[in-house]
């Protein structure tokens, strides 16, 4: 009986084990959602105002992929930009629902502040668990060259001014000032213009030479009047003839002075009256003295 009870016990245990194995069901895998950052890069350069220190504009291209088995909805992306550890937040556009295996690329506008220089980073996190980082660089080249541009402009202006001064001095070198006859003076010396001397040309090489001295016009007039008065001494006649001779001598002296000093035609009559008056006074004084 003991053996029979033991056999029944084993038989019942085996039946229960078979029934348990037949009724067991396979375990089901739970659905999963997983977002992966495929690529994150910053593109763009400019605008041209950023080369002078203005704000620089860039674009962040972010590629995401749903590697899970269920659609991904309400995907959140947080962004920040700056040097070193970015702290300035950037608004990210909404991410549409991604089916399993679907991939999407979004573009986010990034603005670097004024006078940015060097490397800047854009950091972000997807669904609070997937971080990424992309970098870009910016150099305001024209702003760096500004001191050199200003210095070059100063040098060019200085050279231009020196060239103008040299040309002006060269063009006026050797120019003689034309004498201008004034109102009738008491003597011929008062009618003479100031002393005129020639200037040596600045463009001539070689040692410095003493400029030639030009005889003053009043000295020439005095000498011509003395010569004309001496020519009238040997003439005899009445007062009318003497006056006519004085006028002829004055006319001759005037022509010589005007030709020598290039007196303008409209100034010659005034010079003639001054010389005639001076010669008449000298002639009258000589007759009174005699």
Does 1 fall in a domain?
Answer: no
CATH classification of the domain holding 230:
1.10.10
Q: 37 forms bridges with which residues in the sheet?
A: 64
Would you say residue 218 lies in a domain?
A: yes
> How many structural domains does the chain have?
2
Q: What is the pLDDT of residue 249?
A: 84
Give the pLDDT score at 205: 52
CATH number of 61's domain:
2.60.40.10
In this prediction, residue 55 carries a pLDDT of: 92
pLDDT of residue 33: 66
> What does pTM read for this prediction?
0.43
Q: CA geometry: angle at 226 spanning 279 and 252, to 5°? A: 60
Domain that holds residue 98: 35-140
Residue 3 lies in a domain: no
- Shared domain for 117 and 196, answered yes or no, is no
pLDDT, residue 272, reads 87
Instruction: Note whether 197 and 122 are same-domain residues.
Output: no
Could you give the strand order of the β-sheet that contains 130-138, starting from the edge strand earlier in sequence? 88-90, 77-82, 118-126, 130-138
Is residue 169 situated within a structural domain? no
Chosen domain end from 101, 121, 140: 140
pLDDT in tens, the chain (290 residues): 444 455 545 555 555 555 555 444 544 555 566 899 999 999 998 888 888 888 999 999 999 999 989 999 989 999 999 998 899 999 989 999 999 999 999 999 999 998 888 899 999 999 888 999 999 998 887 777 777 888 888 888 888 888 888 888 777 665 544 555 444 444 544 445 544 444 444 445 555 656 566 678 878 888 888 888 787 765 555 677 778 888 888 888 888 888 888 888 888 888 888 888 888 888 777 777 66
Q: Do 62 and 127 lie in a common domain?
A: yes
At residue 3, the pLDDT reads 47
Among 65, 61, 78, smallest CA distance to 124 is for 78
Q: Is residue 172 part of a domain?
A: no
Instruction: Answer for the pair 60, 93: CB distance below 8 angstroms, yes or no.
Output: no
């Amino acid at each position: 009986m003991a053996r029979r009870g033991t056999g029944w016990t084993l038989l019942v245990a085996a039946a229960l084990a078979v029934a348990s194995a037949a009724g067991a069901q396979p375990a089901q895998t739970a659905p999963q959602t997983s977002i992966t950052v495929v690529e994150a890069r910053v593109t763009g350069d400019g605008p041209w105002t950023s080369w002078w220190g203005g704000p620089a504009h860039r674009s962040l291209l972010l590629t995401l992929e749903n590697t899970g088995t269920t659609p991904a909805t309400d995907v959140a992306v947080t962004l920040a930009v700056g040097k070193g550890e970015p702290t300035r937040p950037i608004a990210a556009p909404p991410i549409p629902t991604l089916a399993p295996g679907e991939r999407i690329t979004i573009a986010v506008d990034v603005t670097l502040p004024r006078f940015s220089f060097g490397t800047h980073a854009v950091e972000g996190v997807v669904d609070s668990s997937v971080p990424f980082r992309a970098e870009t660089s910016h150099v305001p080249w024209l702003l760096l060259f500004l001191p050199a541009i200003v210095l070059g402009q100063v040098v060019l202006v200085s050279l231009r001014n020196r060239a103008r001064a040299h040309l002006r001095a060269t063009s006026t070198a050797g120019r003689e000032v034309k004498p201008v006859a004034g109102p009738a003076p008491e003597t011929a010396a008062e009618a003479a213009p100031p002393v005129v001397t020639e200037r040596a040309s600045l463009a001539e090489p070689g040692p410095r030479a003493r400029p030639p001295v030009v005889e003053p016009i009043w000295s020439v007039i005095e000498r011509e009047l003395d010569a004309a008065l001496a020519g009238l001494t040997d003439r005899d006649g009445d007062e009318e003839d003497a006056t006519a001779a004085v006028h002829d001598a004055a006319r001759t002296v005037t022509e010589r002075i005007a030709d020598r000093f290039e007196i303008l035609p409209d100034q010659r009559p005034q010079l003639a009256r001054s010389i005639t008056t001076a010669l008449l006074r000298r002639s009258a004084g000589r007759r009174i003295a005699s």
